[in-house]
Amino acid sequence: MRKTDRYPVEGSNSLWQIYRTVSRWKGMKNFIWIQIARYSASLHFKNWIYRRMLGMKVGQDTAFGLMVMVDVFFPEKITIGENSIVGYNTTILAHEYLIKEYRLGDVHIGSNVLIGANCTILPGVTIGDGAIIGAGTVVHKNVAAGSFVAGNPLQVIRE
């Protein structure tokens, strides 16, 4: 299962209280850098942005496809190993803002992982080395190393 830390809120829903948890300046700065990376054709430049400007841990030779959206407010909670591919238009989240609480969780993606296009990776998930995530998958729980998963809800195709 996912590992997230839960923070209850009182009053209006947690998204209305977002700037109590993260600086609006950090959010704006990160948003600008993420948008530049999303449209960049240079894999080296994207990795430089993710590592240096956003504080993500990104392994050697990892490649991000066009339009990948990483967490705007907590990108530093995302770690991706070496030689992995994150497919077109994939979203990687490290936060969830709900009605009565918000949750934060580190995302760990191993080495030699293939994530297909249009996937959503939820907070607190670990994807093991050599895993394959089929296109369009919502990854809501941990994925074992070397396995092939796909779908919504996520189903193990091969272990």
pLDDT (tens digit per residue) in 1-56: 799 999 999 999 999 999 988 999 999 999 999 999 999 999 999 999 999 999 99
- Whole-number percent of the chain with pLDDT over 90: 96
Task: Residue 82: name the closest of 44, 130, 118, 37 by CA.
Answer: 130
CATH topology of domain 5-158: UDP N-Acetylglucosamine Acyltransferase; domain 1 (2.160.10)
Q: Which residue has the tokens 């990892």?
A: 62
Closest residue by Cα to residue 146 from 137, 136, 157: 157
For 144, residues 6+ apart whose C-beta sits below 8 A from its C-beta are 128, 131, 156, 159
pLDDT value of position 45: 98
Is the model's pTM score more than 0.85? Answer: yes
Strand 5-8 to 101-104 pairing = antiparallel
Helix (H) or strand (E) holding 32: helix 24-39
Determine how β-strand 155-158 pairs with β-strand 148-150: antiparallel
